[in-house]
Amino acid sequence: MLRRFALNAALAAMVVSAPAFAAEKLGCAQPDPQAASAGASAPVAKESVAATTGPKVVFQLNRAEDASTILRFVTNYLAAEPSAQVAVVGYADGANFLLKGAADANGKLYEEQLAALAARGVAFKVCGNTLRARSLTAEAVSPSAAVVPGAVNEIIRLQTREGYAHFQN
């Protein structure tokens, strides 16, 4: 498993560092000019400022029905690894729980759990591409989460540039 992760990280680093490829040539989404002009009013993704010696893990979430499970996994993981840096990146239907007013299957709002985990240093990130596809703005996002230009790019950046391990349910 570790060997496969190291190989995947090395391959991703080669792809990310290939200077000849421009985003538009690859058909990648460009940063939203409206989001850039929104300035300080739009939340910006940021990593925990506090230096930790613990592991770094990014949890990928792309299915709405997995939100409660992933939040439980993150909570349990932090109980075992309290010094860990954790990021949760939601996209497609997996971004639903990071929107204002989102509730689980029992009608309980996610915001309380998001706020508690964010207070422990968990960085929640919503895919800007998903928001644009739904004609939503950063105003629709929970105050505990920040918008990133693209989930895939963010996950790869966290793995290759920040040294995060990757978890997908």
Q: What is the DSSP string of 82-132?
A: TT-EEEEEE-GGGGGGGBTT-B-TTS-BSHHHHHHHHHTT-EEEEEHHHHH
Topology classification of domain 35-168? Hypothetical Protein Ychn; Chain: A, (3.40.1260)
Is this prediction's pTM over 0.85? no
Q: Which DSSP symbol is given to 20?
A: T
| pLDDT score recorded for residue 164 | 98
Distance CA 153, CA 23 (A): 11
| pLDDT score recorded for residue 169 | 83
* Torsions phi, psi for 4 (to 5 deg): -65, -40
Question: Amino acid identity, residue 70?
Answer: I
Question: Amino acid identity, residue 110?
Answer: Y
| pLDDT score recorded for residue 52 | 53
**Residues of the chain predicted below pLDDT 70:** 1-52
Tokens standing for 91?
Answer: 């996209």
Distance CA 141, CA 138 (A): 5
